[in-house]
């Protein structure tokens, strides 16, 4: 169960390193008994870092990039009414909060000696607890479950845009270059994947752009499943706003993608083939590959964790959260990662003090825009169930109502923007 | 806020002997979920449609949240979220934010 460090252990630990490296200036000893290394500066890792600093813990945040571009709201860029700068964040706010930010690729993790090696840095970074929030990586050719023909080179022709950044800009450029009357093909994986309603929001906002600029164009969604998040709300909105423009092909109708050919922009399903002027392949996914640096951390595609602390079930002193972990009823979303980050920070701070972690409480809200003034949402409240997994509290949460006024949809669109501003400020502000 | 965290964690740690998991959720942990939309410590952000929720009298805040739970009034997301909390949890959340000025 939970290891309770005695104060003497903590003092020994402090003596082993230099006190100066362990203690932020002006903080009491009780608030700072340890070093935490966080890998990944997104919704999960960024939240952990900020909240650990609030608890007075020393935090080093390592990210391969100098900043973070969010997938949430990147679909507004594809829709032609958002800009990359609005979804791009630096780590300056982390530094202001006292986080030691290291930019570089992690090349080794020694979970026995508790240290992390960053490319180009001769001296490994020691930790008392390590938090991994690496998000997802894609299953490219050569990985079990990958789409045949889809690798990193293919993604330069058929962008995934499922990690926001240059891929988002590439897909946007392709949409701008497409002639009126063109066909956009989007492939959508089976569960689990990052942001369950995201592909359908993307289809909606691309349709918004096409309706405005290229109204004879079509969008074909090739789906690896038969149902999807907020399905009734999305489909009703498509009928009302984009009649005849979006064709959804479910798994049973032949939507499952077996192979792609980037040379001809063709997608091959179990039943046939679809050629697109623009092809957006959202590939099957797995935990960010940095988890592979620790043997047995991942079980299959993702990491099993204790839902009270998000500590790995298999490797002590290593916590995994966000898209990379298995979090029961919580979807893989930025909001989930943020709430998991808060629970993890409170738990890690308690564990560093030799105290028992408290029971978690989390929520998730996924807003989707179907046009700039039409928002829909799905929400849930989460606790630990009797079986020890994260459950949704019964008779709570759920989606926006099927019947609602235009004013209601507009309010949810405004709240979606308000949510984005708030969560971004909380993490990177 | 930090001292409140420490006090409540210490209390639960003592109450449960430091080994068994506490079954009662800490008010800080409950309230942390709210700040994702309602700003740091519930203080809101300028020009944001999500209202600040700090510094309101606890009974009024609790009544409002229990109203959301009963769909009175019907709003957007808060009816669905409030249903996920017991009345005792709502009282704890209201008391927590009332103390943040």
**pLDDT tens figures, A51-68:** 999 999 999 999 999 999
Name which of B19, B33, B80 is nearest A361 (Cβ-Cβ): B33
Q: In whole numbers, what is the pLDDT of chain B averaged over residues?
A: 83
* Nearest-angstrom CA–CA distance, A144 and A142: 7
pLDDT of residue A22: 39
* Nearest-angstrom CA–CA distance, A379 and A395: 12
Predicted confidence (pLDDT) at residue B23 exceeds the cutoff of 70: no
Residue of chain A whose alpha carbon sits nearest to that of B78: A397
pLDDT band at residue B11 using 50, 70 and 90 as cut-offs: very low
Predicted confidence (pLDDT) at residue A27 exceeds the cutoff of 60: no
Name which of B23, B36, B85 is nearest A426 (Cβ-Cβ): B36
Q: Do A7-135+288-358 and A140-283 have matching folds?
A: yes
Q: Any CB–CB contact under 8 A between B68 and chain A?
A: no
What average pLDDT does range A54-83 have in this prediction?
98
Name which of A55, A398, A426 is nearest B80 (Cβ-Cβ): A398
pLDDT of residue B24: 57
Name which of B33, B49, B80 is nearest A396 (Cβ-Cβ): B80
Name which of A342, A397, A415 is nearest B76 (Cβ-Cβ): A415
Parse chain A into domains and list their residue ranges.
7-135+288-358, 140-283
What average pLDDT does range A336-355 have in this prediction?
97
Predicted confidence (pLDDT) at residue A39 exceeds the cutoff of 70: yes
pLDDT of residue B25: 76
* Contact state of B37 with A346 under an 8 Å Cβ cutoff: no
The string of pLDDT tens digits covering residues A276-305 is 999 999 999 999 999 999 999 999 999 999
Do A341 and A321 form a contact (C-beta atoms < 8 A)?
Answer: yes
Burial A216-251 (b: 16+ CB within 10 A, else e): ebbbbbbbbbeebbbeebbeebbeebbeebbbbbbb
* Nearest-angstrom CA–CA distance, A161 and A94: 26
Alpha carbons within 13 A on the beta-carbon side of A186: 24
> Could you give the strand order of the β-sheet that contains A318-320, starting from the edge strand earlier in sequence?
A100-103, A58-63, A35-39, A129-132, A318-320, A311-312, A303-306, A325-326
The CATH number assigned to the domain with range B25-98 reads 1.10.760.10
Which residues of chain A have a CB within 8 Å of the CB of B33? 339, 342, 361-363
pLDDT of residue A23: 39
Positive/negative CA dihedral, B60, B61, B64, B66:
negative
Which residues of chain A have a CB within 8 Å of the CB of B11? none
Of the candidates A165, A135, A166, A85, the residue with the CA atom closest to the CA atom of residue A333: A135
pLDDT of residue B5: 43
Which residues of chain B have a CB within 8 Å of the CB of A406? none
* Contact state of A422 with B49 under an 8 Å Cβ cutoff: no
Predicted confidence (pLDDT) at residue A6 exceeds the cutoff of 70: no
pLDDT of residue B92: 97
The string of pLDDT tens digits covering residues A207-245 is 999 999 999 999 999 999 999 999 999 999 999 999 999
Which residues of chain B have a CB within 8 Å of the CB of A414? 49
Which residues of chain A have a CB within 8 Å of the CB of B26? 346, 358-359
Predicted confidence (pLDDT) at residue A155 exceeds the cutoff of 70: yes
Assigned fold of A140-283: FAD/NAD(P)-binding domain (3.50.50)
- CATH architecture of the region A7-135+288-358: 3-Layer(bba) Sandwich (3.50)
- Percent of chain A exceeding pLDDT 70 equals 93
pLDDT of residue A47: 98
Q: Any CB–CB contact under 8 A between B79 and chain A?
A: no
Residue of chain A whose alpha carbon sits nearest to that of B48: A418
pLDDT band at residue A270 using 50, 70 and 90 as cut-offs: confident
């Amino acid at each position: 169960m939970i290891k309770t460090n005695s104060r003497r252990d903590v003092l020994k630990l402090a003596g082993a390193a230099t006190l100066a490296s362990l203690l932020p200036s002006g903080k009491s000893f009780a608030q700072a008994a340890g070093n935490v290394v966080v890998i990944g500066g997104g919704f999960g890792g960024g939240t952990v870092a900020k909240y650990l600093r609030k608890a007075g813990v020393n935090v080093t945040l390592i990210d391969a990039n100098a900043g973070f571009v969010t997938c949430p709201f990147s679909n507004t860029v594809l829709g032609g009414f958002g800009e990359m700068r609005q979804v791009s964040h630096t780590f300056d706010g982390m530094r202001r909060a006292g986080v030691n930010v290291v930019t570089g690729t992690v090349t080794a993790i020694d979970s026995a000696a508790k240290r992390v090696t960053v490319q180009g840095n001769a001296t490994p970074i020691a930790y008392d607890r390590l938090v991994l929030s690496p998000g997802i990586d894609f299953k490219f050719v050569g990985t079990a479950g990958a789409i045949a023909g889809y690798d990193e080179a293919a993604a330069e022709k058929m962008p995934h845009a499922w990690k926001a950044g240059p891929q988002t800009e590439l897909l946007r450029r392709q949409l701008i270059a497409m002639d009126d009357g063109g066909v956009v093909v989007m492939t959508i994986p089976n569960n689990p994947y990052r942001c369950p309603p995201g592909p359908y929001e993307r289809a909606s906002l691309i349709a918004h752009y096409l309706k405005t600029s290229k109204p004879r164009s079509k969008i074909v969604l090739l789906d690896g499943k038969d149902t999807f998040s907020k399905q009734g709300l999305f489909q009703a909105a498509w009928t009302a706003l984009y009649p005849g423009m979006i064709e959804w092909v479910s798994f049973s109708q032949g939507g499952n993608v077996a192979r792609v050919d980037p040379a001809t922009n063709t997608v091959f399903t179990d039943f046939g083939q679809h050629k697109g002027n623009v092809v957006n392949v959202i590939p099957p996914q797995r935990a960010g590959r940095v988890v592979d640096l620790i043997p047995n951390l991942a079980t299959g595609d993702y990491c099993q964790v204790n839902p009270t602390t998000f500590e790995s079930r298999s490797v002590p002193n290593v916590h995994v959260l966000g898209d990379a972990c298995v979090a029961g009823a919580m979807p893989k979303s930025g909001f989930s990662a943020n709430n998991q980050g808060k629970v993890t920070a409170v738990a890690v701070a308690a564990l560093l003090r030799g105290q028992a972690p408290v029971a978690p409480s989390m929520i998730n809200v996924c807003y989707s825009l179907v046009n700039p003034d039409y928002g829909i949402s799905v929400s849930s409240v989460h606790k630990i169930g009797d079986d020890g997994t994260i459950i949704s509290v019964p008779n709570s949460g759920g989606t926006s109502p099927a019947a609602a006024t235009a004013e209601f949809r507009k309010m949810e669109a405004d709240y979606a923007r308000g949510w984005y501003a708030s969560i971004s400020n909380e993490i990177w502000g | 806020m930090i001292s409140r965290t420490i006090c409540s964690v210490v209390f639960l740690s003592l109450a449960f002997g430091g080994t068994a998991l506490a079954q009662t959720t800490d008010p800080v942990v409950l309230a942390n979920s709210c700040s994702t939309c309602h700003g740091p410590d519930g203080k809101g952000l300028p020009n944001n449609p999500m209202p600040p929720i700090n510094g309101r009298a606890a009974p009024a805040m609790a009544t409002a949240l229990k109203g959301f739970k009963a769909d009175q009034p019907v709003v957007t997301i808060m009816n669905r979220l409030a249903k996920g909390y017991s009345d005792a949890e709502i009282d704890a959340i209201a008391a927590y934010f009332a103390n943040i000025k």
